Structure 1
Amino acid sequence: MERIQKQMEFLFEIDKIKDVFRQSLVVEGKREENDAEHSWHMALVALTIKEYFKGEVDLEKSLKMILIHDLVEIYAGDTPAFGAVRPDKADEELKAAVKIFSLLPEDQKEYFLNLWIEFEECESNEAKFANVCDRYQGFMQNLTSDGHTWKKFNAPLEMVLKRAEVIKKYTPDLYEKYMLPQFLSYKERGIIK
């Protein structure tokens, strides 16, 4: 019974992710996206663009990373991609990861925490692919909101391209054929500085 109780407490606690709002807008700019929607959309991005990834990837493992990667924001809050750099972000998120996953039974705590760390370190193919999906989903939100976060944070082209480096490196066809032309178009329009 204790195992079930811990699992239920975790599931109730992570429901709070629906109340963590991001800077990205959804539905053509009608409202802010929450972290749960972001993770759901990332999962569908993963299912859709896997063919562009250079290398073998265990899709199930990447999907697990996608589902848990932002749970830390329940405690650590969201850091906008193009906003001010938070020097304490990594430490705060690690503390939050330990706290949220400690609600689980020990074996699941270790498994989820290690998955989260693997995503953050971005060294395995699964983590690389999950990070590609994270960055790509944010890019898509900018396209559906006419560059909302690029405009809001006066994002320069260099910063936008740096954010997309993981996509360029691991899904070069997707980057070259679709993303780069979009970046240049938004730069031409003055939305990306």
Structure 2
Amino acid sequence: MERIQKQMEFLHEIDKVKDIFRQSLVVDGKREENDAEHSWHMAMVALTIKEYFIEEFDLEKSLKMILIHDLVEIYAGDTPAFGAERPDKKEEEIKAAKKLFSLLPKDQSKYFLELWLEFEECESSEAKYANVCDRYQGFMQNLTSDGHTWKKFNATMEKVLQRAEVLRLYVPELFEKYMLPKFKMYEARGIIK
């Protein structure tokens, strides 16, 4: 019963991810997207664009990373992609991950923490793909909101391309044929500086 109780407490706690709002707007622009919506959309991106990823990888493992990657924001808060840097972000998120995943039984706690750390380190093919999906989903949110976060944070082309580097490296066809022309279009409009 103790195992079940711990799992249920964890599932109850992570429901709070629905109350973590991001800077991105939902398609109709009526409100900000929450972390749960972001993770769901990332998972759909993962299922849809996998043919463009240049490395062999385990899609199921990437999907697991996608589902847990932002849960730490329940305690650490969201850091906007184009906002001010937070020097304590990594430390705060590690502390939050340990706190959150410790709610689980030890074997699951260890596994979830390892998955989350693997995503953050972005070295395995699965973590690279999950990060590709994270960055691509943010890019899509900017397209559906007429560059909302690019405008809000006065994003420069240098910063936008830096953020998209993982896409350039691991989904080059998608980056070159679809994303780069969009970046240039938004730069020509003065939305990307």
**TM-score, structure 1 length as denominator?**
1.00
Offset at residue 28 of structure 1 (A): 2.9
Matches within 5 A, 1:56-95: 56-95=56-95
Identity of aligned residues (%): 81
Where does residue 12 of structure 1 map in the other structure?
A: 12
Alpha-carbon distance between aligned partners in 2 of 1:170 and 1:99, rounded to the nearest angstrom: 32
Matches within 5 A, 1:27-176: 27-176=27-176
Alpha-carbon distance between aligned partners in 1 of 2:28 and 2:7, rounded to the nearest angstrom: 37
Alpha-carbon distance between aligned partners in 1 of 2:75 and 2:149, rounded to the nearest angstrom: 23
What 5-or-longer segments of structure 2 have no aligned partner?
A: none
Alpha-carbon distance between aligned partners in 2 of 1:179 and 1:28, rounded to the nearest angstrom: 21
Q: Secondary structure at the match of 1:28?
A: coil
Question: Which residue identity is paired with 1:177?
Answer: K
Q: How many pairs align?
A: 193
**TM-score, structure 2 length as denominator?**
1.00
Q: Which runs of 4+ in 1 moved over 2 A?
A: none
Question: Which residue identity is paired with 1:63?
Answer: L
Offset at residue 29 of structure 1 (A): 1.3
Provide the aligned C-alpha RMSD in A: 0.4
Where does residue 26 of structure 1 map in the other structure?
A: 26
What 5-or-longer segments of structure 1 have no aligned partner?
A: none
- 2:184 is aligned with 1:180: no
Q: Secondary structure at the match of 1:24?
A: strand
Alpha-carbon distance between aligned partners in 2 of 1:90 and 1:34, rounded to the nearest angstrom: 21
Alpha-carbon distance between aligned partners in 1 of 2:99 and 2:166, rounded to the nearest angstrom: 29
Alpha-carbon distance between aligned partners in 1 of 2:157 and 2:183, rounded to the nearest angstrom: 8
Alpha-carbon distance between aligned partners in 1 of 2:66 and 2:76, rounded to the nearest angstrom: 17
Offset at residue 97 of structure 1 (A): 0.3
Offset at residue 30 of structure 1 (A): 1.5
* Greater mean deviation of Cα atoms: 25-34 or 178-187: 25-34
Alpha-carbon distance between aligned partners in 2 of 1:41 and 1:69, rounded to the nearest angstrom: 13
Alpha-carbon distance between aligned partners in 2 of 1:176 and 1:28, rounded to the nearest angstrom: 28
Alpha-carbon distance between aligned partners in 1 of 2:28 and 2:173, rounded to the nearest angstrom: 26
Q: Secondary structure at the match of 1:44?
A: helix
Measured against aligned partners, the alpha-carbon deviations of 1:10-43 in whole angstroms (never above 9, x if no partner) come to 0000000000000000123121000000000000
